[in-house]
Amino acid sequence: MVGTCRRPHFLFSLLLGAAPRARRVFGLEPQHGNFCRRRLASVHDVGHAHPLRHWGQEHWQPGRACLVVCNHQSFLDIPGSFFAVPGNMRMMGKAELFRIPIFGAALRAVECIPVDRGNRASAAAATTEMKAKIESGLSIWVAPEGTRSVGAELGEFKRGAFATAIKDQVPIQPMVVLDSFKAMPKGSYLPRTGSVIHVCLLPQVETKGLTVEDRKTLADNIREQMMVALRELLAQYP
């Protein structure tokens, strides 16, 4: 099934996320279900915006925590992903994202998890926090490439999040985003108009019965599935 959102706007949502008083006024405190989606992927038409087309929501299993694995093309991957996912989700992201004015405040406000992969203590703390959130019933969004990619070729996946999913025996929800880099190129802090962002959820992959030693095979298999999906999207939307 294909869904569309005419203008999933980003900046208005970030401003709400960064303002505690606004969160209370609009009913966006954590106790209100799915507050991350509403805050980071609001559909208010304010300033620059982009149509978003999404598929695969039938693959989401309501009420079941999972690890959402996504490719990374631009900042707009985040609001696009939150809009496309019908459940309650948090994000794990590079620590430098949390230092960007307004954007970083919004990420902290919605309880996202910062990680500095070059710092063992930071990586260990992020893994512990991710595990705690998964055990509490929240799904976690990660971009295992650790950097941006364009098109259907993906970088090597870092395997730490896959190990956590295996240890907790939670499924993995692959997701692919296409053309968000056109809407917000690297180095830009403001979206550009005229691009359609495509988001597709793939069938979930179970981890039951796997051991930590299987993490590389699991990561490689999911990476291949995602590249196949991206090639299909590129053929349909060149």
Q: What token pair was written down for 230?
A: 């991206």
Query: Looking at 66-126, which runs of residues are DSSP E strands?
Result: 67-70, 89-94, 113-115
- CA–CA separation, 52 vs 196, rounded Å? 6
pLDDT in tens, 79-138: 788 888 888 889 898 888 888 777 778 778 878 899 887 888 988 899 899 999 999 999
Helix (H) / strand (E) containing 52: strand 52-55
The most confident of the ranges 132-141, 155-164, 177-186, 214-223 is 214-223
Cβ count near 158 (within 10 Å):
15
Model confidence, pTM: 0.79
Mean pLDDT for the chain? Answer: 78
Q: What token pair was written down for 120?
A: 């063992």
Yes or no: say if 67 and 139 are a contact pair by the CB < 8 Å rule: yes
Tell me the pLDDT band of 231, cut-offs 50, 70 and 90.
very high
**Of 24-28, 54-58, 192-196, 213-217, which gets the smallest average pLDDT?**
24-28
Torsion, Cα of 211, 215, 216, 217 (10° steps): 60
Structural domains for the chain: 2-236 (3.40.1130)
